[in-house]
Amino acid sequence: MNTFAAIILNITPKEMITDKKDMVADWIKENGNPAIEKLTSKNAETASMIASVLDHAGLSADHLAQMIDIHVAEVNKWLSGKHNFSEKMLDNIVEKIESNPITN
């Protein structure tokens, strides 16, 4: 709906925007958001792989946190699949695990 039609129907532009947002929000509630679902799935998959590598290497979340110099709470968020991994951080994790004397 254009602004002219909104004026004729006595609808303010703000109400038009709200209606559009509600339509999108309603659609997402009914159908889900494929992009978010894909990202969530990929995060869970990555977290599972990292946890498996840590387990195989005999390392804990605490060890990893110390190796990459972050709080263990952040590592726990990653390992739960509730937080995104950046490509830079994944590279850092792999580098630290590979260079760790415990894993070699």
Q: In whole angstroms, give the CA distance from residue 90 to residue 53.
A: 12
Chain segment 3-41, per-residue pLDDT in tens: 544 445 555 555 555 555 577 777 777 887 888 788 888
pTM above 0.85, yes or no: no
Considering only CA atoms, which of 62, 68, 61, 59 is closest in space to residue 101?
Answer: 59
Residues 85 and 94 sit within 8 Å (Cβ to Cβ): no
Residues 67 and 100 sit within 8 Å (Cβ to Cβ): yes
Residues 43 and 84 sit within 8 Å (Cβ to Cβ): yes
Chain segment 31-83, per-residue pLDDT in tens: 878 887 888 888 888 889 889 988 988 889 999 999 999 999 999 988 888 78
